Amino acid sequence: MFLTVERQTSPKAIPLDLFTAITDLKKELNTVILAHYYQDPDLQDIADYIGDSLGLSQAAASCQADTIVFLGVHFMAETAKILNPDKLVLLPDLNAGCSLADSCPPDRFAEFKAKHPDHLVISYINCSAEIKALSDIICTSSNAVAIVNQIPKDRPIIFAPDRNLGRYVMEQTGRDLLLWDGACMVHEIFSERKLVELKLNYPEADIIAHPECEANVLRHADYIGSTTGLLKYVQKSDRQEFIVVTESGVIHQMQKSTPFKKFIPAPPTSNCACNECPYMRLNTLEKVYLTMKNRSPEIILNEPIRQAALKPMLKMLEMSV
């Protein structure tokens, strides 16, 4: 029996012990909870699986549960639904969008694609189902270089929507990609000047960065990788200090797995907490509980779009083994 508090803002009764309540609902609904590393630490702690975008897609593709509760942003939950049309896919806050996905509206992208009919379209997974449906192959930050390397050298490629990841892939592969001009507001906010100053204070620290950052920041990095790549790097490294240039939520698993190492979040240009993704952080433990209790909000997709988006997703999974 839970003690409950009635909230003026919500007619629902919220149990005080949300961890226990969510664990009970998990069994009741035969649910798996998938969480991205950018979620609040307490949300990561209730998840069955925590991962980067590729790991989460693979977990969704092999999921046996009836219900998936996705702790991440909309395009991630949508991806889980693309792969699991018959499962109930729940996202605690439907407003958890993504500035990068928003920077690529489907109508404008369709026009852009039509101007380059000979190009293969490789889209970063941080995009809407409509953009996926217009793509030939999806990639994530952990497999973008490997996927582009598998395409014959004479085949021209459109890379969308992240210009920073696209430019990084161009450097790594030596290929000329036609880039869509999108970006992530969180990764564009890091200040090169402040990063250099921080490195002077921590000369022994390795700088580790996500490829969504701008080139002037990435040039200072000792290691560049996806969130899972960054986590594995700190686990294997002999270094004791790391300056982490990505959304600060990833530090939770770094600290848990290597408690004696020091992690310093890289500073944004202003004194805001802009290295926290405002969309990711819309999900809360209370919302997770209410979502599971009400079995809503649910991700619903237009079936022709889902089927068209599934093809490039399956292509990515096939090219990532």
User: Judged by CB under 6 A, which stretch of 6-14, 137-145, 214-222, 259-267 contacts ligand 13P?
Assistant: 137-145
Question: What residue type is assigned to position 252 of the chain?
Answer: H
Pairing of strands 177-179, 157-160: parallel
Among 177, 277, 299, 313, binds ligand SF4 (CB under 6 A): 277
* Residue 71 binding: pick among ligand 13P, ligand SF4, none (C-beta 5-8 Å cut-off by kind): none
When binding is defined by CB under 6 A, the residue of 135, 140, 173, 291 that contacts ligand 13P is 140
- Classify residue 58 by its DSSP letter: H
Does the annotation list 125 as a binding residue? yes
Enumerate the H helices of the chain as residue ranges: 18-29, 41-46, 53-61, 74-83, 99-102, 106-114, 129-133, 144-149, 163-173, 192-201, 215-218, 227-236, 251-257, 285-294, 303-319
Total number of residues binding ligand 13P (CB under 6 A)? Answer: 10
Q: Is residue 184 annotated as involved in ligand binding?
A: yes
Decide: is 144 part of the binding site for ligand SF4 (CB under 6 A).
no
Of the candidate residues 21, 32, 144, 184, the single one contacting ligand SF4 (CB under 6 A): 184
Of 146, 167, 253, the closest CA to residue 217 belongs to: 167
Residue count, binding to ligand SF4 (CB under 6 A): 13
CA angle (139 as vertex; 134, 144 as ends), nearest 5: 130
For residue 139, the partner it binds in ligand 13P, ligand SF4, none, with Cβ less than 5 to 8 A by kind, is none
The verdict on whether residue 212 carries a ligand-binding annotation is yes
CA distances from 11 to 16, 24, 283, 284, 297 (A): 15, 21, 19, 17, 17
Residue 164 lies near ligand 13P (rule: CB under 6 A): no
> What residues does 42 pair with on adjacent strands?
none
CB-count burial class (<10 Å; 0-12, 13-18, 19+) for 227: buried
Residue nearer to ligand SF4 on the CB measure, 21 or 218: 218
**141 annotated binding-site participant:** yes
186 binds ligand SF4 (CB under 6 A): yes
Binds ligand SF4 by CB under 6 A, chosen from 43, 46, 77, 98: 98
Contacted entry of ligand 13P, ligand SF4, none for residue 279, CB cut-off 5 to 8 Å set by kind: ligand SF4
Is 189 one of the binding residues for ligand SF4 (CB under 6 A)? no
81 burial class (0-12, 13-18, 19+ CB within 10 angstroms)?
buried
Numbered residues of the known binding site for [4Fe-4S] cluster: 98, 184, 277
Report the interface residues with ligand SF4, using CB under 6 A. Answer: 38, 73, 98-100, 126, 184-186, 247, 277, 279-280
